[in-house]
A and B are shown apart, each in its own frame.
Chain A
């Protein structure tokens, strides 16, 4: 480590600065190492590239395309062709414009839902797994209770209660997160329970480490793998569950569309007008796969057992 020339202050400052410097470099190399690990997985890079491409596509293309997602065009029930590369639906919407719009809407909701439910699920699972006993009992029973209520019933009650405000996508995301955090919390809890059997946890406790430190520095990083995988799966799940709610008018309001809604509408005509179902479904699959590959890469990058 090269020394840093202070401004006439004594060696004590240099040592301190050296320590900061050393620490910073260690961190830098850790981050660099993580990035390298991520990049080592080719599928993760491909997934990232596809995701970024799709996002760029949905943001830029609407400005260049002649139809907007809400336009009623001259052609209805048209198969894919020159004027409408993805065809049109039965009243005349251009499906290409609608698919782009749908991707944007769905990604917005799904990202927020994945983030929120991951955070909530991790916190709840960690508390239940680490502190156990009363915390565990209460939290897991609450989770059980929420799981027994079918999502559709929750949707209908909320739609009635919220009325017009129910068309807010933000509220929809909150509702979905409130339901989707549960499987992750059980996963985290289970992982923590098994990790806590390790000796180094007892050792850390004996050395005086606080509960918070043990959870954040020792337990969660080891559970990061399953958490990330579940979070990426959550994206696809959120889009599909959101679809049945959107079909009933919650979360989005016509002429707004989402990927899930397009798929749900299209599946009734899957054999007779396959383009209504096919194109949105194709993009959904691409998104889910890319997110999963990125998740795999993240998992490798964050694996504490990985050496720099």
Chain B
């Protein structure tokens, strides 16, 4: 009798545990039911949302931009070939009407208006410029300065003026900015944001967020669980194909495959992938897997404040000792066999303007590397490592540290591969993992650092990485690199309005960047994503810009 009850109790407990283990999210299956027959699709979002205003510093997270796409209107959108296409629902025209001085004129569609009835006008363009300019004379709702994530381009605008009842916007530049199509993406409802504040008014879900100027409208948000956008009934342009898109927040990419399996999500938003994610998704029957490079690339930086790394020939030798192809093969190459190394510091493969400028500097040649190191004042030590004959490590094993962020397995793998490759030429590499990685890197507390840069299709954004760190605007130059020739070329390139001429200038700068070897470019991140076999979504196309699948999510249709 005792045993019978014990067994029954055990079964009940096991059953309860299993039921509890099943995911608690509501299953949103794609269906053609609901109003207007558009249906709904559930998309995964991995990670936490930190505020909805992705133009502000700290909230500029890629998937926030993807989630919010179509709510606030963009002036230009990059298509899958990374060409900037004008939003013809919002604008009738957007033209460069004068080159010197540079003047751009936008003509807003007379029908364009925010969902609360206020027309979209030059006021919204003016407000955005003030918020993004970095100019302290413009104040946010609470009297403090605006905190934009990036001021690139906006800080070169001298004035934004409205005319024709606010439907014509004239933007004058104080100095030429070639990537003017990257500006005003998106514009915010100024009449709303002026009241709630740019810096914090859109951090939490509320009424301010429900004012829309695009095909989608924010509908609801359950903290840590989901965000829903629905068709904007007041949209004057082409209506969205689906009636709603649900974004299901998932904490860990290891949960993605099972979420697809049990129908909880239909679309896996491409996210920086690992081999196990790819294998797991492929294991879900019928899943359409997409692996494609993203506009995020991995690189290895040399800190030129280190006395040895300050020497160009030592940096070049280390670059030659690193086998980039082997790194690609053993990391992202296992996700996408077509993954390659990158040969350019400003453009990525696939972008118009990309040229492989790596030449002899990016080529793996261990013998050449060792000879160069010996020539730079190193001698063979007794334990297989080289020893410098000068500097603070004279007479000791030549040691460099390589830092990476804790918990990032991919970066940790790169560290170990670099360690093994440099060991082969006699350099001892100490691996250091930091939890406050980025603040340490910004302070310059490292010898070598590996991390990724996420860029947009506009090359001018890379200027703040490569221009001399002594300039205040070069806030992203964490390697303490400085070359006045590069500065001059970059300045000319960002001001050059002819994109082909600009590319020539950027590539000239890039050749110098390679020979100076401040940073060794490794590879593009491979994103892994796709959609479940249980749905057939028309127009779902990958785009390597930050928008991913969402560059045209208003055109998705269930077949």
Let me know if A247 is at the binding interface, CB within 8 A. yes
Q: Are A248 and B275 in contact, CB atoms less than 8 angstroms apart?
A: no
Cα distance A249–B404 in the bound complex, in angstroms: 10
Let me know if A304 is at the binding interface, CB within 8 A. no
Contact with A along B380-415 (1 / 0, CB 8 A): 000000000000000000000000001101001101
Which of A92, A164, A254 sits near B415, CB closer than 8 Å? A254
Q: Are A272 and B433 in contact, CB atoms less than 8 angstroms apart?
A: no
Q: Are B283 and A249 in contact, CB atoms less than 8 angstroms apart?
A: no
Q: Are A272 and B279 in contact, CB atoms less than 8 angstroms apart?
A: yes
Residue of A nearest to B253 (CB): A268
Residue of B nearest to A269 (CB): B276
Let me know if A43 is at the binding interface, CB within 8 A. no
Let me know if A168 is at the binding interface, CB within 8 A. no
Q: Which chain A residues in 154-184 approach chain B with CB under 8 Å?
A: 156, 159-160, 163-164, 167
Let me know if B420 is at the binding interface, CB within 8 A. yes
Q: Are B434 and A72 in contact, CB atoms less than 8 angstroms apart?
A: no
Let me know if A198 is at the binding interface, CB within 8 A. no
Contact with B along A236-257 (1 / 0, CB 8 A): 0000000000011100011100
Let me know if A84 is at the binding interface, CB within 8 A. no
Give the distance to chain A from B21, nearest Cβ to Cβ, in Å. Answer: 16
Residue of A nearest to B435 (CB): A159
Q: Are A253 and B280 in contact, CB atoms less than 8 angstroms apart?
A: no
Let me know if A25 is at the binding interface, CB within 8 A. no
Which of A70, A90, A93, A248 sits near B435, CB closer than 8 Å? A248
Cα distance A71–B416 in the bound complex, in angstroms: 10
Let me know if A148 is at the binding interface, CB within 8 A. no
Cα distance A265–B436 in the bound complex, in angstroms: 22
Which residues from chain A contact B409 at a C-beta distance below 8 Å?
A: 265
Q: Are B434 and A163 in contact, CB atoms less than 8 angstroms apart?
A: yes
Q: Are B276 and A254 in contact, CB atoms less than 8 angstroms apart?
A: no
Cα distance A90–B275 in the bound complex, in angstroms: 8
Known A77-B275, A269-B275, A269-B279: A91·B432 in contact at CB below 8 Å: no
Give the distance to chain A from B403, nearest Cβ to Cβ, in Å. Answer: 10
Q: Are B413 and A156 in contact, CB atoms less than 8 angstroms apart?
A: no
Q: Are A255 and B279 in contact, CB atoms less than 8 angstroms apart?
A: no
Known A271-B283, A272-B280: A156·B435 in contact at CB below 8 Å: yes
Interface centre among B276, B407, B416, B420 (most CB of A within 10 A): B276
Which residues from chain A contact B406 at a C-beta distance below 8 Å?
A: 159, 247-249
Q: Are B420 and A71 in contact, CB atoms less than 8 angstroms apart?
A: yes
Q: Are B280 and A160 in contact, CB atoms less than 8 angstroms apart?
A: no
Let me know if A23 is at the binding interface, CB within 8 A. no
Let me know if A76 is at the binding interface, CB within 8 A. yes
Which of B275, B334, B415, B436 sits near A160, CB closer than 8 Å? B436
Which residues from chain A contact B431 at a C-beta distance below 8 Å?
A: 253-255
Which of A156, A254, A268 sits near B412, CB closer than 8 Å? A254
Q: Are B274 and A268 in contact, CB atoms less than 8 angstroms apart?
A: yes
Known A249-B406, A271-B280: A72·B416 in contact at CB below 8 Å: yes
Tell me the dominant secondary structure on chain B's binding face: helix
Q: Which chain B residues in 406-443 approach chain A with CB under 8 Å?
A: 406-407, 409, 412-413, 415-417, 419-420, 430-436
Contact with B along A253-285 (1 / 0, CB 8 A): 111000000000100110111000000000000
Give the distance to chain A from B422, nearest Cβ to Cβ, in Å. Answer: 12
Q: Are A90 and B417 in contact, CB atoms less than 8 angstroms apart?
A: no
Give the distance to chain B from A265, nearest Cβ to Cβ, in Å. Answer: 7
Which residues from chain B contact A72 at a C-beta distance below 8 Å?
A: 416-417, 420
Cα distance A10–B136 in the bound complex, in angstroms: 104
Cα distance A91–B409 in the bound complex, in angstroms: 11
Cα distance A290–B112 in the bound complex, in angstroms: 74
Which residues from chain B contact A70 at a C-beta distance below 8 Å?
A: 416, 420
Q: Are A255 and B280 in contact, CB atoms less than 8 angstroms apart?
A: no
Cα distance A72–B414 in the bound complex, in angstroms: 12
Q: Are B432 and A268 in contact, CB atoms less than 8 angstroms apart?
A: no
Cα distance A77–B275 in the bound complex, in angstroms: 10
Residue of A nearest to B401 (CB): A164
Cα distance A23–B434 in the bound complex, in angstroms: 59
Q: Which chain A residues in 68-118 approach chain B with CB under 8 Å?
A: 70-72, 76-77, 90-93
Let me know if B254 is at the binding interface, CB within 8 A. yes
Contact with A along B197-216 (1 / 0, CB 8 A): 00000000000000000000
Contact with A along B316-333 (1 / 0, CB 8 A): 000000000000011100
Residue of B nearest to A276 (CB): B276
Residue of A nearest to B433 (CB): A249
Which residues from chain B contact A255 at a C-beta distance below 8 Å?
A: 416, 419, 431
Which residues from chain A contact B432 at a C-beta distance below 8 Å?
A: 164, 167, 253
Which residues from chain B contact A93 at a C-beta distance below 8 Å?
A: 416
Contact with A along B326-345 (1 / 0, CB 8 A): 00011100100000000000
Cα distance A247–B433 in the bound complex, in angstroms: 10
Q: Are B435 and A249 in contact, CB atoms less than 8 angstroms apart?
A: yes
Residue of B nearest to A159 (CB): B435
Cα distance A249–B407 in the bound complex, in angstroms: 8
Q: Are B413 and A90 in contact, CB atoms less than 8 angstroms apart?
A: yes
Q: Are A253 and B433 in contact, CB atoms less than 8 angstroms apart?
A: yes
Which residues from chain B contact A163 at a C-beta distance below 8 Å?
A: 434
Which residues from chain B contact A164 at a C-beta distance below 8 Å?
A: 432
Which residues from chain B contact A265 at a C-beta distance below 8 Å?
A: 409
Cα distance A90–B280 in the bound complex, in angstroms: 15
Residue of B nearest to A267 (CB): B254
Q: Are A268 and B416 in contact, CB atoms less than 8 angstroms apart?
A: no
Cα distance A234–B415 in the bound complex, in angstroms: 33
Q: Are B416 and A90 in contact, CB atoms less than 8 angstroms apart?
A: no
Give the distance to chain A from B406, nearest Cβ to Cβ, in Å. Answer: 4
Cα distance A110–B363 in the bound complex, in angstroms: 45
Give the distance to chain A from B257, nearest Cβ to Cβ, in Å. Answer: 9
Which residues from chain B contact A160 at a C-beta distance below 8 Å?
A: 435-436
Which residues from chain A contact B420 at a C-beta distance below 8 Å?
A: 70-72
Residue of B nearest to A248 (CB): B406
Cα distance A269–B274 in the bound complex, in angstroms: 10
Which residues from chain B contact A248 at a C-beta distance below 8 Å?
A: 406-407, 433, 435
Known A248-B406, A248-B407: A90·B330 in contact at CB below 8 Å: yes
Known A159-B406, A268-B276: A90·B433 in contact at CB below 8 Å: no
Which of B275, B417, B430, B434 sits near A249, CB closer than 8 Å? B434
Which residues from chain B contact A253 at a C-beta distance below 8 Å?
A: 430-433
Which residues from chain B contact A272 at a C-beta distance below 8 Å?
A: 275-276, 279-280, 283
Which residues from chain A contact B419 at a C-beta distance below 8 Å?
A: 254-255
Give the distance to chain A from B407, nearest Cβ to Cβ, in Å. Answer: 6
Cα distance A152–B364 in the bound complex, in angstroms: 41
Q: Are B433 and A254 in contact, CB atoms less than 8 angstroms apart?
A: yes
Q: Are A92 and B330 in contact, CB atoms less than 8 angstroms apart?
A: yes
Give the distance to chain B from A260, nearest Cβ to Cβ, in Å. Answer: 15
Cα distance A156–B405 in the bound complex, in angstroms: 12
Which residues from chain A contact B330 at a C-beta distance below 8 Å?
A: 76, 90-92
Which residues from chain A contact B280 at a C-beta distance below 8 Å?
A: 271-272
Interface contacts beyond A76-B329, A91-B413, A272-B283: sample of 4 additional A-B pairs, CB < 8 Å, sorted by A:
A93-B416, A156-B435, A160-B435, A249-B433
9 A–B contact pairs at CB < 8 A? A71-B420, A76-B330, A91-B330, A160-B435, A160-B436, A254-B415, A268-B274, A272-B275, A272-B276
